[in-house]
Structure 1
Amino acid sequence: MSLRLLSWLLLLLSLGLFRHELPGARADSVTSPSAAKTLVWGPGLEANVVLPARFFYVQAADSSGRNLTTSPGEKTFEVKIVAPVEEFTRIWIQVLDRHDGSFLVRYRMYATYTDLHLHVLLKSKHVAGSPFVLKGPVYHEGCDCPQPSGSEWEAHMHCPQSFPQIDRDLAIYSGVDPDANAQEIPQRFGQRQSLCHYTVKDNRVYVKTFGEHVGFRIFMDAILLSLTRKVRLPDMEFFVNLGDWPLEKRKPTEKIHPIFSWCGSNNTRDIVMPTYDLTESVLETMGRVSLDMMSVQANTGPPWPGKNATAFWRGRDSRQERLELVKLSRAHPAMIDAAFTNFFFFKHDESLYGPLVKHVSFFDFFKYKYQINIDGTVAAYRLPYLLAGDSLVLKQDSGYYEHFYNELRPWEHYVPVRADLGDLLEKIQWARDHDEEAKKIALAGQQFARNHLMGNSIFCYYYKLFQEYAKLQVTEPKIRDGMELVEQPSDDLFPCSCHRTRVKDEL
């Protein structure tokens, strides 16, 4: 190309008159978003969807209504939330640029308001249907004001009719006997394992613990208290396993005890809940945690062409295959960057597999195109966050699973890798040789996480699980000897008045 022709092309591009793409350019890279055509939607625009951090989406579109597919700039949209009858609003707002033409807006309320007006602005112009009015009362996370009707709450939350994993887990039970379980489960598991025995009665939570290591009960307490502030739970009695490994190993022909666990396996029959890690990230979003399903979406590293075409992994030595992964990395450093940040299980092998490397910010993982997901003591609980990025997940075949694994499809949402990692190098090479297909799978995995693993979905899963489990009970749940009431946290600074008629306690 002559220098004169190149100069003309650059001039036409700068004037916006030349619409054909040069290699590597994007048509929307010179397009500005339109306030009238931009789309705004999501649960955070509905007063009855009470979440620790509410959220909604903004999709930038140009004047012809075409969605932008690259970021128009982090500061493109401004969001203001005001309560007309309040002088001050105690609301923390973040506008997260997802770098694909869309934005995730999240906000955490620290008080309850009569009405809220949400202003979404583009260069001082209202976007789409802005201002969006949430007719009050609009309750904050700490407000104890449960919706009496579970079906109404589910409708407000847009919960699905069912979750296939819940149906699978509960299908083996024709009935559940709280009286028998209260005797048999502590005898069978209570000496060697750490358990919580919960009863929910009249929407109050009671608990008794068994075993030495019961610190993780705080996660279960927290989600139960949060749910009972939002919706009236059915009366129920159940046991939660506080350890990593699922417990119920009996065959279906034997007497199976219902044990709720954060992880399932092909060799056990525990009832699976969202992991404590994912649960806490939902409850503490915009609170004390920094890694959650929303923050990841704004920190996905450089665009796909700018990512390092290496498979990346960091972690601790909690499984033999992780040692093998580090060996592979040393033998093939151009394909795999894997190293330990901590030695705990195989300390005597540190000289073989060390030295330890410094921790890498999780957000920096996404500087790499390929993410290796490999089991730890059980399933690696980072998978939801890896999917939410825009790297390709190479997932080890595993006998362990989280509550959503059975909805994932190999070669659609991730690339499968043999349990012994014997084909890992081959799969990395495939991804390098099929870059567009690899990118498509990465984006499908990201879309799955956005659709199924956000906070509203996690609350729906817990509620549906408890609702369906409660239906199986054949004797009345009871507050047993030794149980203590789990108190709701006090909110003296920002108390709220509940407008709903409470069902009278019968205690």
Structure 2
Amino acid sequence: MVNKRLWLRRPKLHASVNVSSTKNTPTLLLQLLTFTFLLVLAPLIRLRKYDPVIAVRKQLSPTPDCVTWNHTGVCPKIHPASSPTKPRSGSSCPDYFRWIHEDLRHWRKTGITERMVSGARRTAHFRLTILGGKMYVEKFREAFQSRALFTLWGFGQLMRRYGGKLPDLELMFDCNDRPVVKAEQYAAEGAAPPPLFKYCADNSTFDIVFPDWTFWGWAEVNIKPWSKFLKETKEGMEKSKWEDRVPYAYWKGNPKVSRQRHLLMTCNPTPQNEWNARIYALDWEQEAQRGFNQSNLAKQCTHRYKIYAEGQAWSVSEKYILACNSPTLLIQSRWHDFFTRGLVPQRHYWPVRDSQMCKSIKFAVEWGNNHTTKAKEIGEAGSHFAHEALRMDNVYDYMFHLLNEYAKLFKYKPKIPPDATELCTEALACHAHGKWREFMEESLEKFPSDSPPCTMPPPFDLGAFARAKMEAVDEVEAWEDEYWRKKDNVH
């Protein structure tokens, strides 16, 4: 566990050790012999040819260097991979990267000033500053559980991956669920909102969405880092064919956090109705006491269909649900995180009405069980999105491009805040224990990237994209309405 008062605290330094050394000056004769050897024999030696890319890709410390950190309190210098670099195969970024242009659109005309950034401090949990290839963090308040800790860990891994390539900037980060920068407050011409980074937003807010902390693990509920989860899920999917899974829709979670989830609980079968859903309430406190033996997400690919329902805002569960190659039944959502706007109905998921979700779920399962080829395609496309478009390479590249485009808007030169502390792997991990330390070591970036980030796609026609998604949803709802008309007429 992490002592919240200790993480990012500098260790108490030991007294420095004064080691005297004697100068061993080579004699003139030794110098002459060495020079003669190099001059005469060196041309005769066949030097081995080597791949320059491999030669410059030096491994970083495979584990946090806590011995040195506890002694010096100094963050180790990160040496980025040198040029030349090898291009990444399929180097174009996934389509959801296009939303970076839209999320930063509100500052295109005005740029970002120091006053704007300071204005975002009101709800922020920390300020992150990048200057001269180093990161610094200034904490304002404690976040829920380890959200801030693992978000900062993610920033630290980005630095290990792309150290020296990140631009100078500073940002404010709010680790709470719901967005707070209301669009209606900045409707006047030329009024620029404070740039505040969050995990989610909606159509009425201007918060800048950023990958959530669970990509590096959620220690309090034993959810492993994303890369490890994907590996375990893939192994589990290979053992269970879609046709052999329970032919119902499955959801398990905390129903107390939102109206939508509360209503979802009513979709369980009753003597009067079979809604084709199997819904289970999960109490995380009880689950922790039982050792989390009923909540391993990698082992929940047991049903043909998985349901996604929002929580207090967006829910981190969406990516885990998509990762199973079972069609995701996505109940109409208000909130979005950084990748969900790239999901397309009827391609990556099946849309479910919020207003009559039980009937909508029943129809979705009936339709899928009668159109198994198409249902499997939707499940596989959603799973492919999670395993490929959302793999950690792309998560880090999204972070890189978002920060790079954000920094281009700056109208001032950031400086290190007086109360800031340098951020590095050791500053976070050396005070962590148990699952917290385990997840950090599992998600540690061990090499600087030897290839550039993927290539950012250009902005796109948001109107056309939104219309296409709406048409796909409307089509499903028309099928559903027809299904219930026929069913009601029979009765």
Does the alignment reach a TM-score above 0.5?
Answer: yes
Aligned equivalents of 2:350, 2:94: Cα separation in 1: 29
Aligned equivalents of 2:412, 2:175: Cα separation in 1: 25
Check conservation: 2:107, 2:192, Cα contact below 8 A.
no
| Superposed CA offset, 1:453-489 (max 9, x none) | 1011111100011111000001111112322222442
Q: Does 1:338 align with 2:274?
A: no
Q: Matches of residues 167-206 of structure 1 in structure 2 within 5 Å? A: 167-174=101-108, 175-186=110-121, 189=122, 193-206=123-136
Residue of structure 1 in register with 2:368 after alignment: 431
Residue of structure 1 in register with 2:415 after alignment: 478
SS of match in other structure, 2:282? strand
Q: Does 1:256 align with 2:193?
A: yes
Residue of structure 1 in register with 2:156 after alignment: 225
SS of match in other structure, 1:391? coil
Bigger shift: residues 332-341 or 440-449: 332-341
Residue of structure 2 in register with 1:23 after alignment: none
Residue of structure 2 in register with 1:367 after alignment: 302
Runs of 4+ in 1 over 4 A off after TM superposition: 148-157, 285-291
Residue of structure 2 in register with 1:69 after alignment: none
SS of match in other structure, 2:247? strand
Aligned equivalents of 1:409, 1:417: Cα separation in 2: 13
Residue of structure 1 in register with 2:381 after alignment: 444
Aligned equivalents of 2:413, 2:86: Cα separation in 1: 24
Check conservation: 1:159, 1:460, Cα contact below 8 A.
no
Change (3 A) 1:400 1:149: farther
| Superposed CA offset, 1:10-64 (max 9, x none) | xxxxxxxxxxxxxxxxxxxxxxxxxxxxxxxxxxxxxxxxxxxxxxxxxxxxxxx
Aligned equivalents of 1:293, 1:245: Cα separation in 2: 27
Residue of structure 2 in register with 1:316 after alignment: 254
Bigger shift: residues 165-174 or 141-150: 141-150
Check conservation: 1:240, 1:261, Cα contact below 8 A.
yes
Residue of structure 2 in register with 1:247 after alignment: 180
Residue of structure 2 in register with 1:80 after alignment: none
Aligned equivalents of 2:61, 2:223: Cα separation in 1: 14
Shift in Å, 1:139: 3.8
Partner amino acid, structure 2, of 1:432? N
SS of match in other structure, 2:395? helix
Aligned equivalents of 1:385, 1:286: Cα separation in 2: 10
| Superposed CA offset, 1:289-326 (max 9, x none) | 89622322221251011111011110012112212211
Shift in Å, 1:446: 1.6
Match of 2:167 among 210, 234, 238: 234
Residue of structure 1 in register with 2:54 after alignment: 135
Partner amino acid, structure 1, of 2:389? H
Match of 2:266 among 327, 351, 356: 327
SS of match in other structure, 1:400? coil
Partner amino acid, structure 1, of 2:418? D
Partner amino acid, structure 2, of 1:320? R
Partner amino acid, structure 2, of 1:211? R
Change (3 A) 1:179 1:429: same
Shift in Å, 1:230: 2.5
Q: Considering fraction of residues, name the structure with more helix.
A: 2
Change (3 A) 1:371 1:150: farther
Check conservation: 2:307, 2:330, Cα contact below 8 A.
yes
Q: Does 1:456 align with 2:393?
A: yes
Q: Does 1:209 align with 2:150?
A: no
Check conservation: 1:194, 1:213, Cα contact below 8 A.
no
Aligned equivalents of 2:128, 2:84: Cα separation in 1: 23
Change (3 A) 1:288 1:404: closer
Shift in Å, 1:392: 1.0
Check conservation: 1:329, 1:337, Cα contact below 8 A.
yes
Shift in Å, 1:202: 0.9
Check conservation: 2:313, 2:335, Cα contact below 8 A.
yes
Q: Does 1:407 align with 2:337?
A: no
Aligned equivalents of 2:159, 2:86: Cα separation in 1: 12
Partner amino acid, structure 1, of 2:416? I
Q: Does 1:164 align with 2:95?
A: no
SS of match in other structure, 1:255? coil
Partner amino acid, structure 2, of 1:167? H
Partner amino acid, structure 1, of 2:157? S
Q: Does 1:276 align with 2:195?
A: no
Partner amino acid, structure 2, of 1:226? Q
| Superposed CA offset, 1:236-268 (max 9, x none) | 011111111112113352431111111122221
Q: TM-score, length-normalised on structure 2?
A: 0.63
| Superposed CA offset, 1:341-364 (max 9, x none) | 1289xxxxxxxxxxxx98343233
Bigger shift: residues 357-366 or 242-251: 357-366
Aligned equivalents of 1:399, 1:211: Cα separation in 2: 28
Aligned equivalents of 1:156, 1:343: Cα separation in 2: 41
Aligned equivalents of 1:140, 1:159: Cα separation in 2: 26
Q: Considering fraction of residues, name the structure with more strand.
A: 1
Shift in Å, 1:404: 1.1
Aligned equivalents of 1:340, 1:237: Cα separation in 2: 41
Check conservation: 1:260, 1:272, Cα contact below 8 A.
yes
Aligned equivalents of 2:116, 2:83: Cα separation in 1: 26
Shift in Å, 1:149: 7.7
Shift in Å, 1:217: 1.9
Match of 1:419 among 354, 366, 370: 354
Shift in Å, 1:433: 2.0
Residue of structure 2 in register with 1:354 after alignment: none
Aligned equivalents of 1:417, 1:286: Cα separation in 2: 27
SS of match in other structure, 2:300? helix
Partner amino acid, structure 2, of 1:386? I
Percent pairwise identity? 21
Aligned equivalents of 2:414, 2:253: Cα separation in 1: 42
Check conservation: 1:177, 1:473, Cα contact below 8 A.
yes
Change (3 A) 1:382 1:476: same
